[in-house]
């Protein structure tokens, strides 16, 4: 389905007319009046810290996930750190994770003075390859941190089986995957601790924010206490009308609590989460159809019937071998057309810190590098208009057509 209007048009980056006049921001949040009113009510209520709205959000989120516990935090990164902390990951331990993730997944392992051990991903799912996990396990391995890339759950049966056999803990980075299900099972109940993100571009946004879920009583209690300085009663209980109780420091905890202003957003975002997923599914299929016959693009792999994809990121892989531009040049060209795009992700082992401190180099994780060099995430917000979606498709098509290499592969 190539739009003939875009054929042989000069890209805006070379001085041509852009596909649209105003910039389409990537990952634009979908905020409604209900959130705005709730934030205003919170500001007027006299309590803007961690309080009743945070507890309400935790309770509704917990029910949505179906876990025993849900603890609201100020980020997913905080949750990943807290999970490693309560699971006892320490200096000298090894934690297995994927190089195709946001840096914080591995950074928190370094914060605990443990060693991040990368295992290559599968080319088609972009998720950690369970076969590689098995090979990477040593006597020092304590935990596995799978990341559910773009909202597609990892092969959790295999990962949990390996973890059980080797007595390893599993912390799931579900930053992309709130709505996902694996063989009917809701994410947040599979591994030992699961962590979610409510960052501005995610499927549910609270400005900054995150949540941990677990079914383990002891870890839940410890995470709750450690999320607020390690003190035994949270501030709301201490100063509310229920009576006065001085606090006690149980651990040298962290400042990871969510505030009621953030929770005010989350409460209403959660009520629309399924509706928004349906909208993103529709956009997803529109993109799939538009790009299906463009040989310079690989669209996301379909998902098995048993599973449910959370549709967080629509990522195409550019066949750069068939183009006269690199992925970064492609994104610059898209930007000139006034379309924002993202990269999820540049493989972590190629980042300055990981390269220099752990001796990683290009060639170490070929599938991760393949994705890292080719991936482009297109706008997928539920508030995209049909015209926005058409602009994205037109801009991608226009750039591909202009920069495609003429060779036998491109015969259509
Ligand atoms: C966004 C993201 C995070 C970090 O989330 P924050 O809430 O910003 O801390 C972690 N992992 C992945 C895979 C992410 O996409």
- pTM score above 0.85: yes
Nearest Cα neighbor of 373 from 400, 345, 340 is 345
Query: Which residue's CA lies nearest to atom 8 of ligand 1?
Result: 199
Taking CB atoms within 8 Å and a gap of at least 24, the contacts of 281-289 are 281/311, 283/314, 283/380, 283/382, 283/384, 283/389, 284/311, 284/314, 284/380, 286/389, 286/393, 287/314, 287/316, 287/378, 287/389, 287/392, 287/393, 289/1
Residue of 27, 29, 71, 76 best suited for mutating to test ligand 1, as the one with most atoms within 8 Å of CB: 76
Closest CA to 198 of 109, 256, 250, 265: 265
Residue from 74, 173, 180 to probe ligand 1 pocket by mutation (most atoms less than 8 Å from CB) = 173
Short-list 102, 101, 73, 106, CA closest to 195: 73
For residue 72, the cross-strand partners are 211
Distance CA 402, CA 215 (A): 53
Interatomic CA distance for residues 155 and 135, integer angstroms: 16
- The pLDDT tens digits for 88-105 are 999 999 999 999 999 999
Centre of ligand 1 to C-alpha 346, Å, is 14
Dihedral of the alpha carbons of 401, 403, 405, 406, in degrees to the nearest 10: 50
Q: How far apart are the first and last CA of the chain?
A: 12
Nearest-atom number in ligand 1 for the CA of 78 is 9
Catalytic residues: 202
CA of 77 relative to ligand 1 center, distance in Å: 6
Q: Which atom of ligand 1 is nearest to the CA of 79?
A: 9
CA of 76 to the centre of ligand 1 (A): 6
For the CA of 208, the nearest atom of ligand 1:
7
Q: Measured between alpha carbons, how far is residue 298 from residues 64, 270, 323, 396, 399 in Å?
A: 33, 32, 13, 13, 15
Q: Which residue lies with its CA nearest to atom 6 of ligand 1?
A: 76
* CA–CA distance, 312 with 36 (Å, rounded to integer): 23
Taking the chain (412 residues) in consecutive chunks of 10 residues, what is each chunk's mean pLDDT? 64 97 96 98 97 98 98 98 98 98 98 98 98 98 98 97 98 98 95 98 98 98 96 66 77 97 98 98 98 97 92 98 97 98 98 97 98 98 98 98 78 48
Distance 72 CA to ligand 1 centre (A): 15
Please report the atom of ligand 1 found closest to the CA of residue 104.
Answer: 10
Count of CB atoms situated within 10 Å of the CB of 258 = 28
> Would you state the structure tokens that stand for residue 33, as one six-digit string?
């009046």
* Cα 162 to Cα 143: distance, rounded to the nearest angstrom: 11
pLDDT tens by residue, 103-137:
999 999 999 999 999 999 999 999 999 999 999 99
Quote the ligand 1 centre to 206 CA distance (angstroms).
13
Q: Which residues are near ligand 1 (CB < 6 Å)?
A: 75-77, 101-102, 104-105, 147, 173, 175-176, 197, 199, 210
Tell me, what's the pLDDT at 238?
60
81: CA distance to ligand 1 center in Å?
12
Which atom of ligand 1 is nearest to 344's Cα? 15
Tell me whether strands 314-318 and 297-298 are parallel, antiparallel or unpaired: antiparallel
Residue ID of nearest Cα to ligand 1 atom 5: 76
Question: Residue 145 gets which letter from DSSP?
Answer: E
């Amino acid at each position: 389905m190539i739009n003939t209007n875009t054929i042989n048009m000069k890209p805006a980056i070379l001085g041509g007319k852009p596909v649209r006049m105003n910039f389409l921001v990537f990952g634009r949040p979908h905020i409604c009046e209900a959130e705005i009113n709730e934030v205003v009510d919170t500001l007027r209520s006299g309590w803007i810290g961690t309080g009743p709205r945070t507890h309400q959000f935790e309770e509704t989120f917990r029910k949505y996930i179906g876990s025993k516990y849900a603890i609201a935090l100020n980020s997913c990164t905080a949750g990943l750190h807290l999970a490693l902390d309560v699971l006892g990951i320490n200096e000298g331990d090894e934690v297995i994770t994927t190089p195709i993730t946001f840096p914080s997944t591995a950074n928190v392992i370094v914060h605990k003075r443990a060693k991040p051990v990368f295992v290559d991903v599968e080319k088609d799912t972009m998720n950690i390859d369970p076969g590689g996990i098995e090979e990477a396990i040593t006597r020092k391995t304590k935990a596995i941190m799978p990341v559910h890339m773009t909202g597609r759950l990892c092969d959790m049966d295999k990962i949990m089986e390996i973890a059980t056999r080797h007595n390893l803990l599993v912390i799931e980075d579900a930053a992309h995957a709130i709505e996902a299900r694996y063989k009917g099972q809701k994410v947040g109940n599979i591994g030992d601790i699961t962590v979610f993100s409510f960052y501005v571009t995610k499927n549910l946004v609270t400005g900054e924010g995150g949540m941990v879920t677990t079914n383990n009583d002891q870890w839940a209690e410890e995470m709750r206490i450690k999320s607020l300085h390690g003190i035994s009663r949270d501030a709301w209980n201490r100063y509310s009308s229920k009576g006065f109780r001085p606090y006690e420091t149980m651990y040298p905890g962290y400042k990871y609590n969510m505030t009621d202003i953030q929770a005010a957003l989350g409460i209403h975002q959660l009520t629309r989460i399924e509706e928004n997923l349906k909208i993103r599914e529709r956009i997803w299929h529109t993109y799939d159809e538009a790009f299906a016959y463009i040989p310079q693009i690989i669209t996301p792999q379909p998902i098995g019937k048993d599973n449910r994809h959370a549709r967080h990121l629509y990522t195409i892989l550019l066949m750069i071998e068939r183009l006269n531009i690199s992925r970064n040049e492609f994104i610059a060209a898209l930007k000139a057309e006034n379309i924002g795009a993202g990269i999820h992700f540049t493989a972590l082992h190629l980042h300055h810190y990981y390269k220099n401190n752990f001796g990683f180099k290009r060639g170490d994780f070929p599938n991760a590098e393949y994705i890292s060099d080719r991936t482009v995430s297109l706008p997928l917000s539920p508030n995209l208009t049909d015209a926005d979606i058409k602009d994205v498709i037109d801009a991608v098509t226009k750039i591909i057509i202009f920069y495609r290499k003429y060779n036998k592969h491109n015969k259509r």
